[in-house]
């Protein structure tokens, strides 16, 4: 009887620990599940479309060079505008940074945002050291970064509403368009009410302080700070131009593949992409974006091959090339980078070797190689000792 009670007590304790673990890490588990869902969608999609992928390769290899060159030039403009948006964000809080520092800041934050939770927002707290060395306080850097992140979301709604009206006038409305508009409005509305709640020191403010008490000083400084209206407007206009470059990339991706491009479809496809970028917890929507954009293009009348190919080329312009630029920005100080990561890479490689060694089991060839190696080593050592003596 006592043994049964002990077992029941142990089971209840274990259940309580598991329940506590899930309660304390609910947000993390949710992000993990969403990430797994997004990646699973991507894997399923490409597995489902594997018969078309061979046609995709042929279509890309025959892409129009002029369109491709235009797309690459637009990537350079996109990166420049992102840097300029940082310059204007800092000017909005009364601070000045150089264009070079702004470009490096964007490239590094864009790169790391792929690998951290909620990267689009959480990356705003990284790589402010270089800016601080210029004499700008950390709180001002965070404030300017918050303006950058907020305006990036605000510009989506500023583009989404005219785009939706354009789609209506073009008789190109569908359920996906309504979802795109509703999503954009919902996100900006939530951000606005969260901002108001923090400013008024209500629920969101108390929740932030409960999670991170050290944020009180920063929030108070943000509340008491004043934004320069002229530069804030310039920040918004720059962000809107960035959205237009994204739309142009969708249009160019279709034109480069000799697909009849549609401006209305390009606009709505880009808005859907941006929504997934905003809500994606990890990997910047990798997988989910490919699925959603391809589905929208197919729903708009394009074939499976055309939709998948245009999506992949768009992601090459908007995702992979800026990501490569971020990697290069880290490699500028390659010696410091190698000193940091080389020991970890070496330990990781040794661990992989040990795992394969264990998994491969005991093989006679290993012992033969060892005996031969030891025999040759002993003979060489005896020979060397005899020569020295």
Q: What is the pLDDT of residue 249?
A: 94
Gap between the Cα atoms of 66 and 136, Å rounded: 43
Q: Examine the domain organization and report whether 304 and 268 are in the same domain.
A: yes
Assigned domain for 149 exists: yes
Indicate the pLDDT class of residue 338, thresholds 50, 70 and 90.
Answer: low
Assigned domain for 20 exists: no
Q: Between 346 and 325, name the one with better pLDDT.
A: 325
Q: Examine the domain organization and report whether 292 and 258 are in the same domain.
A: yes
Q: Examine the domain organization and report whether 227 and 359 are in the same domain.
A: no
Q: Examine the domain organization and report whether 322 and 360 are in the same domain.
A: no
Q: Examine the domain organization and report whether 346 and 327 are in the same domain.
A: no
Which range has the worst mean pLDDT, 6-10, 286-290, 325-329?
6-10
Assigned domain for 8 exists: no
Could you report the per-residue pLDDT of 105-124, keeping only the tens digit for each? 999 888 877 776 666 666 67
Question: Could you give the 3-state DSSP secondary structure of residue 195?
Answer: helix
Question: What are the helix (H) ranges across 25-49?
Answer: 26-48
Percent of the chain with pLDDT over 70: 55
Domain of 114, in residue numbers: 30-332
Gap between the Cα atoms of 83 and 207, Å rounded: 32
Q: Examine the domain organization and report whether 206 and 328 are in the same domain.
A: yes
CB count within 10 Å of CB 68 equals 19
Q: Examine the domain organization and report whether 313 and 351 are in the same domain.
A: no
Whole-number CA gyration radius for the chain: 27
**Cα angle: 123, vertex 323, 71; to 5 degrees:** 125
Q: Which helix (H) or strand (E) holds 68?
A: helix 65-92
Could you report the per-residue pLDDT of 132-151, keeping only the tens digit for each? 888 888 878 888 888 898 88
Q: What is the pLDDT of residue 258?
A: 85
Assigned domain for 91 exists: yes
Q: Examine the domain organization and report whether 378 and 349 are in the same domain.
A: yes
Assigned domain for 15 exists: no
Domain count within the chain: 2
Q: Examine the domain organization and report whether 291 and 380 are in the same domain.
A: no
Which range has the worst mean pLDDT, 88-102, 119-133, 211-225, 280-294?
211-225
Out of 332, 357, 375, a domain closes at 332
Gap between the Cα atoms of 163 and 264, Å rounded: 7
Assigned domain for 22 exists: no
Assigned domain for 142 exists: yes
Mean of the pLDDT values across residues 124-135?
Answer: 79
Assigned domain for 237 exists: yes
Indicate the pLDDT class of residue 300, thresholds 50, 70 and 90.
Answer: confident
Q: Examine the domain organization and report whether 297 and 376 are in the same domain.
A: no
DSSP assignments along 221-283, one per residue: HHHH----HHHHHHHHHHHHHHHHHHHHHHHHHHHHTT----HHHHHHHHHHHHHHHHH-SSG
CB 31, CB 282: distance < 8 Å: yes
**Considering only CA atoms, which of 320, 326, 343, 340 is closest in space to residue 123?**
326
**Considering only CA atoms, which of 71, 105, 67, 66 is closest in space to residue 85?**
105
Q: Examine the domain organization and report whether 125 and 77 are in the same domain.
A: yes
Q: Examine the domain organization and report whether 303 and 346 are in the same domain.
A: no
């Amino acid at each position: 009887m006592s043994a049964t009670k002990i077992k029941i007590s142990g089971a209840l304790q274990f259940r309580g620990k598991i329940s506590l673990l899930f309660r304390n890490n609910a947000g993390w588990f949710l992000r993990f599940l969403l990430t797994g869902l997004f990646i699973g969608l991507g894997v399923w999609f490409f597995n489902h479309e594997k018969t078309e992928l061979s046609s995709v390769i042929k279509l890309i290899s025959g892409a129009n060079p002029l369109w491709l060159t235009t797309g690459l030039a637009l990537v350079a403009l996109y990166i420049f505008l992102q840097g300029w948006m940082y310059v204007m964000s800092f000017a909005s809080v009364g601070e000045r940074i150089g264009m070079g520092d702004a470009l490096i800041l964007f490239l590094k934050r864009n790169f790391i945002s792929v690998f951290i939770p909620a990267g689009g927002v959480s990356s705003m707290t990284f790589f402010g050291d270089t800016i601080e060395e210029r004499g700008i306080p950390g709180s001002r850097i965070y404030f300017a970064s918050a303006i950058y992140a907020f305006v990036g979301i605000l510009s989506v709604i500023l583009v989404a509403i005219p785009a939706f009206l354009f789609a209506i006038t073009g008789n190109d409305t569908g359920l996906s368009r309504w979802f795109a508009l509703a999503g954009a409005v919902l996100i900006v509305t939530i951000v606005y009410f969260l901002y108001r709640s923090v400013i008024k020191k209500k629920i969101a403010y108390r929740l932030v302080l409960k999670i991170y008490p050290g944020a009180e000083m920063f929030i108070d400084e943000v509340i008491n700070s004043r934004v320069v209206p002229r530069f804030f407007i310039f920040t918004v206009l720059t962000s809107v131009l960035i959205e237009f470059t994204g739309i142009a990339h969708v249009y160019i991706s279709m034109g480069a593949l000799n697909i009849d491009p549609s401006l209305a479809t390009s606009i709505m496809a880009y808005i859907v992409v941006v929504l997934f970028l905003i809500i994606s917890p990890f990997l910047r929507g990798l997988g989910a974006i490919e699925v959603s954009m391809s589905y929208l293009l197919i729903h708009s009348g394009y074939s499976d091959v055309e939709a998948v190919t245009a999506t992949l080329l768009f992601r090459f312009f908007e995702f992979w090339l800026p990501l490569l630029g971020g990697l290069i920005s880290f490699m500028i100080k390659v010696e410091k980078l190698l000193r940091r990561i080389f020991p970890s890479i070496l330990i990781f490689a040794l661990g992989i070797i040990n795992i394969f060694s264990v998994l491969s089991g005991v093989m006679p060839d290993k012992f033969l190689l060892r005996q031969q190696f030891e025999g040759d080593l002993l003979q060489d050592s005896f020979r060397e000792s005899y020569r020295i003596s």
